[in-house]
Structure 1
Amino acid sequence: MSFCNPIPIRLKEARKKAKLSQKALGVRIGVDESSASPRMNQYEKGKHTPDIGTLKALADELSVPLSYFFCEDDISAELAVNLNKLSLSDKQKVLEITARLIDESKKG
């Protein structure tokens, strides 16, 4: 079974949704203008993986949670983004709802 690194896919999706070029995104997170586009391209192609600090800067700039980059499927990624927008009390409600759903699925 092969594993596909989700970071390049998620990075490209979030960047396109934010309507930013690779160069603009790189510059916004502090990469030198001359290397911003090539570096973002390498991240999106999976040739290099950003360190966790860079990934956090990218997440902040793209308004997604850090966990978004590690989601293995689109639904989980969308859930991560939506959860990030909720208040702490609403996140607690979602946690309770999902716990009930899991419990119900085990019963039946």
Structure 2
Amino acid sequence: MHVSVLYSPAPREVLEWNLDLPEGATVRDAVLASGWRDAVPATAVPDVGVWGRCCGPQHLLRDGDRVEIYRELVADPKVARRERFRKQGARAAGLFATRRPGSKPGY
């Protein structure tokens, strides 16, 4: 069974391991077989997923699955969006930021 394991240590940087595992292998087996700990030593136990969906380490893999190792968030996305909105101001953000000349408010 062919499986890919991916980890992104930084934005726009991806480490990929293509593995051949026996039938009945789990996500944990794939992560351990990839050797990602050697490539990225100082990280905590990560969250993992298959094709963008979080799953546990005992999840059974199928042929062609893509196992993703997720890094921790630096900031809460909701708080970061709120801060960006506060910096650029209400008039320069959102759906109605650019208006046609002579149009009604909100269009």
The TM-score bracket by the shorter chain reads under 0.3
Larger of the two Rg values belongs to structure? 2
Higher relative contact order (CA 8 A, sep 6+): 2
Q: Given the two structures, how large is their TM-score scaled by the length of structure 2?
A: 0.26
Q: Given the two structures, how large is their TM-score scaled by the length of structure 1?
A: 0.26
More helix by share: 1
